[in-house]
Structure 1
């Protein structure tokens, strides 16, 4: 995990420590800096992260695979190249439609 207060941080591969592990949600923090934290979650196909919320603004990006995010009464299929932003405290659920890695950026 990279903890930094430097003016520039380069992480060459956010997926490096994010292997999918059968039967469990993988979690690796790739960057922690004042005001922002970046986490990569790994999901096996069919895994559902039940309804929960985050205390900060949340940006979600699929690094690979396909995920279905239910939040605020809306269902969004998240695939690589897409970006989803959630307000702080918004309850959401994430389902892996296939083996997937999800990058979360928590801001605030």
Structure 2
């Protein structure tokens, strides 16, 4: 098991796997291998990940709260249960306008 990842064959509560940071962002890698990573994030209200690009596709799954994702020129509001794909090479940013949690799944294989 890689450091910081979760143990195999156990049912774990996502809420118990991360401690939110007041006025900040917390993250924890849940799984990582050559194919990608799964990272749990907790945002306090008003926190954001600034605009950046990644060489790989990524999926955002909103677990709690609400997030605004800016992907290229498009703005998407995502609430619990929503999944949003962020394509490789396209600038994106994440803003939490209320406390929120999300799973970020990075797909390490470059698109064809």
Q: Tell me the TM-score normalized by structure 1.
A: 0.85
Matching residue of 1:27: 27
Cα deviation, residue 65, structure 1 = 0.3
Q: Which runs of 5+ in 2 are unaligned?
A: none
Give 2:73's aligned residue: 73
State the Cα distance separating 1:53 from its structure 2 match. 1.9
- 1:53 paired to 2:56: no
Listed as ranges, the gaps of 5+ residues in structure 1 are: none
Report SS of the residue matched to 2:17: coil
Give RMSD over aligned pairs: 1.9
Mark the CA change 1:73 to 1:44 in structure 2 (over 3 Å): closer, same or farther: same
Q: Secondary structure at the match of 1:15?
A: helix
Cα deviation 1:11-56 (Å, max 9, x = unaligned): 5233322121012211110111230210011110111221112232
Runs in 1 of length 4+ with deviation above 2 angstroms? 1-4, 8-17
**Given that residues 40 and 103 in structure 1 are in contact (C-alpha distance below 8 angstroms), is that contact kept between their aligned partners in structure 2?**
yes
**Residue 10 of structure 1, CA deviation:** 5.1
Matching residue of 1:90:
90
TM-score normalised to the size of structure 2? 0.82
